[in-house]
Amino acid sequence: MEIPDIYPATISPAPAPRAGLKWLLIIIAGLFIVIGIFVAVYFIAGNGHSSVRVIRMEGTLSTGDFSTDDSIGSEYVGNQLREAADDPTVSAIVLRVDSPGGSPAAAEEIISDMEYAKTKKPVVVSMGDMATSAAYYVSAHANLIYADPDTLTGAIGVIWTFSDVSGWMNQEGYNVTVVKSGAFKDMGSTSRALSPAEEAYAQQIVNESFDEFITDVTTQRTIARSDIADGRVFRGADALKINLVDRLGNLNDAIEGAQALANAQQQSHQPFPISLNI
Q: Which residues are catalytic?
A: 133, 185
Closest CA to 215 of 203, 229, 201: 229
Q: Which 8-state DSSP code applies to residue 102?
A: B
Element (H, E) at 200: helix 196-220
Q: Is 132 helix (H, G, I), strand (E, B) or coil?
A: strand
**C-alpha–C-alpha distance, residues 234 and 244, integer Å:** 9
Closest CA to 255 of 67, 14, 91, 11: 91
Strand partners, 267: none
**C-alpha–C-alpha distance, residues 44 and 249, integer Å:** 26
**C-alpha–C-alpha distance, residues 133 and 157, integer Å:** 6
**C-alpha–C-alpha distance, residues 199 and 162, integer Å:** 10
**C-alpha–C-alpha distance, residues 120 and 124, integer Å:** 13
Q: Is 35 helix (H, G, I), strand (E, B) or coil?
A: helix
Number of C-alpha atoms within 13 angstroms, CB side, residue 78?
20
**C-alpha–C-alpha distance, residues 261 and 247, integer Å:** 14
Strand partners, 72: 61, 67
